[in-house]
Structure formats: structure tokens, C-alpha cells
Amino acid sequence: MRKALTQNLVLLILFTGLFFITRQSAFAQNFQKWEPDIAAFEQADKSKAPPKHNIVFTGSSSIRLWENLPVYFPDKKILNRGFGGSQTDEVVYFADRLITPYKPKQVVIYSGDNDLAAGKTPEKVLEDFKALFHKIREERKKATITFISIKPSPSRKHIRPQISQTNALIQVFLEQQKRTSYVDVFTPMLLPNGKPKPELFRPDSLHMTKAGYDIWAEVLKPYLK
């Protein structure tokens, strides 16, 4: 009887460990796939050094595709360092090359959207965001850190509860920190019936049109240093 219990316990431990490893592997990132994008930023810096103490925008494709950011905020020193379909832990990984070298006075982050689409939980997104937050603060103790809420993309309506939960978790976290701001773009992108405004999104129902960025700019402007 004791032998059988021992065998079952060993099997349980092995199964639990295998499950943990499998789950971790499912979210393992291939950071090197972004190396061409990051190297391109560094090459651009060599050609024309950006000013220090600027406002760095970083995160996923919603930032990368906001190519005319300086036009929206002509009185600010803006630097766009968004890349591809990145996830939060990837921004953490490249922060030493994407963010801190510029000694920014403010960092504006849009991330978490792709994390949830990949199957990560709101708690995991919060954990990775905290890692990014603390990494920035290690180098830039007085920098303002601003989070743009995850938008209500029609193509991701199946994870809308997770989007709302993630936004709420990050908002609560930021409210407990100094020199932070949480920018709600989720609400103004909705119709009165709670559905996303269709004109704000491209045919892929994920990325935004100019009308979408117009809303972002209007809501975000008061929060920029």
C-alpha cells in the first residue's frame, strides 16, 4: 500500500513538473526574431542621434504603425520605438536598447494586447508589465511612466473580458506608484451599445485607422510631459 502511494506521489510530481515546463515552453519567446528591428533603430540613431530627455513611445504594432506621432504632438520631443507584434516580456528584454539609452523624461507604453491573444493570463501580463516598470525605474527614477490601455479590437472580442481585467490590474498598480498615468482609450473607442466603433479599425479589425489614432491623440495629449 505504501509502495503504491509512493509511486503515485512520484508520478504526480513528475506530471506537475512536466505541465509546468510545457506551459512555460508555450510562452517562451524567440527574442532574436526582433533583432533586425532593434538593430535598425540603433542604426538610425547613429545616422541622426535623437535628443535626450524626450518622450519614448514603445510597445507593439499599434505604436509602430503610429508613424506620424510627432505630427500629432508637434510641441513635444517624441521618439517612436514600437516594434512588430511584440509582447510585454519582449519589450522588457530590449529595454536596455529601446528605452533607457535615451534617458527619457517619460515612457509611453502600449503592450499586453498580443500577450492575451497568445493565451497569457491578465495576471501574467501584469507581472511582465511590473518587470518593465521596475526596469525603467532602475535607470530613470524620475521618469513618468504612462500606460495606454489595451484597445477593444473587434478581432479580439473573444478575449474582451481578459482585456478589461488586464487594464484594471495595471491601472490599480499604477495608482499605487509615483509619477505614473493610466490612459483609458478603451472607453472612447466604443459605441453607446458597447461595441467598438468600426470606423476606427482597418479591414483586419485589429489595427487602427487615422480616426482611431485621432482619438488616441486627443485622450493622450493631457498626459504628455
pLDDT in tens, 129-181: 999 999 999 999 999 999 999 999 999 999 999 999 999 999 999 999 999 99
Mean pLDDT of the chain: 90
**Cell of residue 25, nine digits:** 515552453
Q: Are 102 and 54 in contact (CB under 8 A)?
A: yes
- Decide if pLDDT at 4 tops 90: no
d(CA 152, CA 150): 7
The model carries a pTM of: 0.86
173: three-class secondary structure by DSSP: helix
Question: The dihedral of CA 148, 154, 156, 162: what is its sign?
Answer: positive
Architecture of the domain delimited by 35-223 = 3-Layer(aba) Sandwich (3.40)
The pLDDT score that the predictor gives to residue 14 is 42
Task: Determine the average pLDDT of the residues in 55-69.
Answer: 97
Q: Which helix (H) or strand (E) holds 158?
A: none
Side-chain half-sphere of 63: how many Cα atoms within 13 Å? 29
Q: Are 108 and 56 in contact (CB under 8 A)?
A: yes
Transcribe 11-46 into DSSP letters: HHHHHHHHHHHHHHHHT---GGGGHHHHHHHHHHHH
Amino acid code (one letter) for 60: S
